Structures are given as C-alpha cells and as structure tokens.
A and B are shown apart, each in its own frame.
Chain A
C-alpha cells in the first residue's frame, strides 16, 4: 500500500520511456490504420464523397436519404435482424450444448473435441460456401435424403421464402470458438458445488440450471456480444451463396455496404451505412449488457 502511494508521485525513468520504442509500430498503426479511419469514416458519412478528390458536405443528407428514399435500406435491416436472430442465439446455444456434452470425463473425449471443432477452422472461406451450395442444391444430398423418407425438399437457396433461413442456419455449424470458451468455463466450476448439490439430492438437470449455468453466465455474455458483432457484419457466405438474392431475400447489410462502396463507389453513402450498423450493434450490445444484470452471476464473496 505504502509503495503505491510512492509510485503515484514517481517520475518516469528513462527505462519507462524506452518502452515506447517497442510500442512504436503499434502506435503508428493505431494512428494510421485505426484512429484516422475511425474519425474519417464519420466525417465521410456527412459527404457525397466518391472516388474523386472533391466532395460536398451534405450534413445529414445521407442518413435522411437512407431512411426515407433508399429502396433497399429497410429491407437490409429486416433481413439482417432476422439473420442475426437465428444465427447468434443458434450458434451460442448450440456451442453450449456441445460444450456440456464434451465436458464429460470419458475415454477418447479428445477425439470428439477435435472432430467437433474441425468445421470451425475454415471460417467463412469460399470452400465452405461451395460445400453448402453443393449440399443445399435442388438435386443436392439434403433433398435426396428427404426424398428417401418420402418428402419433397424445397429449393433451399433458390426460393425467396426459404433462402434466408438456409443462410441463417449455416453459421450455427461453426460454433467452435464459443464452444471452447464454454468448455473451459464449465471445467472451472468448483467440483464441491456439484458434490454438495448431489448430496442434497438435486437432479442432473437441476444441477445444470442452478450451478453450471450461473457459473458460466459471464462467458455466455461474452460469446453473445462477440457473435453479435461478427454475425451482423456477415458478408462472405451470403455473398458467395446467393449474392443477396433471390428477390433480395438474403440482401444482408454487409452486402449493401459492399455494393454501395465498391460497385457504386458512393463512399460517403456507404460510410453512413457503416455508422448506422455500428450504432445498431452498439444498441443491441447495450441491451444485452443491461439485461445481463438480471442473468449474469457475479461472485460476491
């Protein structure tokens, strides 16, 4: 304690300053590739900047046009919300389910962990999109299975009523990183808690809801937020699989930003789009944080 008081007064030594040398590349990167773009994209969102040098300041023009005149904007928002509503909870809950299964002390459990994580290493690579396009084709294997049990499968990626659902369940398959975090958290729950609950005669399901779930709730919060951020920006899989179609049914927000910026080269307009997305993600994260006061357990010992 005493030492802390001394440190407060202390003057930085040469050694302290020399640490800046190690931070130099990062500091440069911070200024050039992070802070400057962050500020500049906000500025751009109030302009009609295209690829040329000159641009005019529109004030709130881009934002107003997006919300009142743009034929697609609200469609993008709707599609993205629906997508996120399936993909985010779907992935997190499935990751939790698998983590519970894989947390058992069984012989050979590591083999299962290896296999379950495998799909996740490919991220949103094009090869993965190709697999799904192949599997979900009209004459693909999924419909062949359905036919085998006497059902007629839909046109998974070609039917405007179904395509969005197809696109939304695909990310659930790659639950790996959330699962690993859940797994580590489950393993960290003190064994004594379970033992005393067992003595009290609590059933396995009760033990899960009363002990495991509260103990891992901080990780649940973390996973929800991280998946929210990544799913609401989704671009690659939907772009390669359906390119927003059919009939704009999978026209995700990420695709809209891409088209405005790199097909139409409306950089100002696209910046406004990206700031609205940022604001949306912040609001949803905020809501999750506020609600987490009710469901995240904090050790008050």
Chain B
C-alpha cells in the first residue's frame, strides 16, 4: 500500500517537472527577447547567458526615436487610433446582428444564418483583391476607414456567432417580461441582454483587440504613408531599413509592442479561455 502511494507521488512530481520543463521551453523565446533588449551590443550574440551583465536601457531610448520622421510613440498612438474604434464597432455591430438572428423570426433567417457561417470558412485571400479595388474607388486607401467601416458592418462572422451562442443561453422569458413592462425591442437589448452578456462582450473586446493590434498583412496592404504607420508597420520598417540590424533597438521596441496584449491577457485571462471554449471557434 505504502509502495503504491510512493509511486503515485513520484509520478506526480514527474508530471510537474515535465510540465514546467515544456512550459519553460515554450516561453523561452519571449523571455530571451525580454532580457536581450537590455543587453549591450557585444553581449547580444554568441552568448548563452540569459541575463544581461549590466542593465542597458539604450535600446529603449534609441528605439523610441523611431524612423527619424516619426517616433515609436506615434506608431503606438496610430495603432490605438486604428484598433480602438475597430474593436468598439465590431462589438456593437455584432451584438445588433446576433440580436436580429437570435430573437426575431426574420424572413429568410435560416438562409442568411447559413451564409454567415459559411463565410467563416471562406479564405480571406479570395476577397482581398476586389476589396482593395473597392477601397481604392471609395478613396479609403491609406486611411483607417478600411478597418473601421467593415467592423461597423459585423463582417467577422466569428463574433456574431459568439453572441448568438451567448444570447441563446439567456431565457426568452426575460425579453417577454421587459416587453410587458413597455420596453421596445431596442430597450430590451440594451437593458436586459447586453448587461447579462458582459462575459461575451469582454471576450469579444479581447479577441478583436489582440487580432487587430497584431495584424500585419492588412495594415501592410492598406496603409502606405509613414505618418499613419502602426506598431506592426513601424517594427517591420525598422527591421528592413538598415542592412545591419540594430538588434538592441528592435528587441526593445518589440517588447513594447507586446505590452498591451500581454497586459490584457493577464488581467482578463479568465474570459480569454472561456471565449474560445464557449464559441468553440477560430484558429
């Protein structure tokens, strides 16, 4: 009996060690970059040492200066200017759409809903070129309208589906009661459903923020003037501009670029995993 207990304890310790070891390997590149951003130029290469010999903040000071025309602070400001309205519009439009699908027997609802779900599987590259030409004819190229307007139209089926799933779990009797109390359908949405959907709203905010913040491709295609460059574009330019890469500066700015998402992740972590698990979607 005792023997068996000992064996189980040993197995448990082995499991913890395995999990810790694998975890360390997984986040090693992140940690290595973080400490690397404080290293001196000589120290940055050819050494296995994780920690810097002494603390060098030069990378942050130099990197912050940006491209000469525009500082890294401006990239961050631009990123927020692009991302925050995109997130807000996505959440509002997705809630409205989900409400329409979930609480009304709209004519043609089944077909429309099927179309929306099918769009989730449609590779984005098929829509890329006509959308670009469309934005050219609208005069939207090199503006953030390219990101804001589609967000206002709930073009991400993922979020609509997420809210539909969530609303499904809110009893319809509540709507009924609100209606009897004289609430219009819009008031019912704002006063009853939205407050109850706080977790879904937070999940949507997190995901859309992180995806838009980290996006490179769309921003690269649509934004061309340096004055409107976002963090993604600024980083990529710094990597490209010099033949001899200023690693210290670039690592420091990468660390800064990752701060907003990391903060959001650790503060709102609970909603994060729930968000994927309940909606069950998106790679």
- Quick check: is A297 within 8 A (CB to CB) of the other chain? no
Q: Is the CB of A116 within 8 A of B26?
A: yes
Q: Assuming the A-B contacts A22-B97, A101-B18, A274-B129, are A127 and B153 also in contact, with contact meaning beta carbons closer than 8 angstroms in the complex?
A: no
Cα separation A148 to B47 with both chains bound (whole Å): 10
Q: Shortest Cβ distance from B280 into chain A, in angstroms?
A: 6
How many of chain A's residues have a CB under 8 angstroms from any CB in B? Answer: 93
B101 proximity list for chain A (CB < 8 A): 23
B20 proximity list for chain A (CB < 8 A): 112
Q: Is the CB of A262 within 8 A of B221?
A: yes
Report the nearest B residue to A111, measured CB to CB. B23
Cα separation A140 to B35 with both chains bound (whole Å): 14
Q: Is the CB of A12 within 8 A of B107?
A: yes
Q: Assuming the A-B contacts A41-B130, A134-B36, are A12 and B232 also in contact, with contact meaning beta carbons closer than 8 angstroms in the complex?
A: no
Q: Is the CB of A177 within 8 A of B282?
A: yes
Report the nearest B residue to A232, measured CB to CB. B123
Q: Is the CB of B19 within 8 A of A101?
A: yes
A30 proximity list for chain B (CB < 8 A): 115-116, 119, 153
Q: Is the CB of A38 within 8 A of B122?
A: yes
Q: Is the CB of A277 within 8 A of B130?
A: no
Q: Is the CB of B112 within 8 A of A41?
A: no
A145 proximity list for chain B (CB < 8 A): 48
Q: Shortest Cβ distance from A159 into chain B, in angstroms?
A: 19
- Quick check: is A155 within 8 A (CB to CB) of the other chain? no
A36 CB contact (under 8 Å) in B12, B115, B130, B211? B130
- Quick check: is A178 within 8 A (CB to CB) of the other chain? yes
Q: Is the CB of A274 within 8 A of B126?
A: yes
Cα separation A230 to B121 with both chains bound (whole Å): 10
Cα separation A40 to B250 with both chains bound (whole Å): 41
Q: Which of B98-125 contact A (CB under 8 A)?
A: 99-101, 103-107, 109, 112, 115-116, 119, 121-125
Q: How many A-B residue pairs have CB under 8 A?
A: 261
Q: Which of B1-48 contact A (CB under 8 A)?
A: 12, 15-16, 18-20, 22-23, 26-27, 29-30, 32-33, 36, 45-48
Cα separation A18 to B265 with both chains bound (whole Å): 39
- Quick check: is A270 within 8 A (CB to CB) of the other chain? yes
Q: Assuming the A-B contacts A26-B97, A33-B155, are A122 and B130 also in contact, with contact meaning beta carbons closer than 8 angstroms in the complex?
A: no
Q: Is the CB of A267 within 8 A of B129?
A: yes
Q: Shortest Cβ distance from B266 into chain A, in angstroms?
A: 8
Q: Assuming the A-B contacts A40-B130, A230-B283, are A28 and B216 also in contact, with contact meaning beta carbons closer than 8 angstroms in the complex?
A: no
- Quick check: is A292 within 8 A (CB to CB) of the other chain? no
Contact with B along A41-54 (1 / 0, CB 8 A): 10010000001000
Q: Shortest Cβ distance from B215 into chain A, in angstroms?
A: 8
Listed residue (B19, B101, B109) with the most chain A CB atoms within 10 angstroms of its CB: B19
- Quick check: is B177 within 8 A (CB to CB) of the other chain? no
Cα separation A183 to B273 with both chains bound (whole Å): 10
B119 CB contact (under 8 Å) in A12, A34, A262, A278? A34
Q: Assuming the A-B contacts A126-B216, A226-B283, A277-B123, are A16 and B106 also in contact, with contact meaning beta carbons closer than 8 angstroms in the complex?
A: yes
Pairs A–B under 8 Å by Cβ, sample size 23:
A16-B107, A20-B104, A23-B97, A29-B154, A32-B153, A34-B155, A37-B134, A38-B127, A41-B127, A115-B26, A121-B262, A123-B215, A126-B257, A130-B254, A131-B32, A140-B45, A177-B276, A180-B273, A183-B277, A226-B281, A240-B239, A274-B126, A274-B129
State the B residues within 8 Å of A (CB).
Answer: 12, 15-16, 18-20, 22-23, 26-27, 29-30, 32-33, 36, 45-48, 93, 96-97, 99-101, 103-107, 109, 112, 115-116, 119, 121-134, 136, 150, 152-155, 160, 185, 210-211, 213-217, 221, 231-232, 235-236, 239, 247, 250-251, 254-255, 257-258, 261-262, 265-266, 269, 272-273, 276-277, 280-283
Q: Which 3 A-B pairs have the closest CB atoms?
A: A19-B104, A29-B153, A22-B100
| Apart from A134-B32, A148-B48: 6 A-B pairs, beta carbons within 8 A | A20-B107, A26-B96, A34-B127, A121-B265, A233-B125, A261-B129
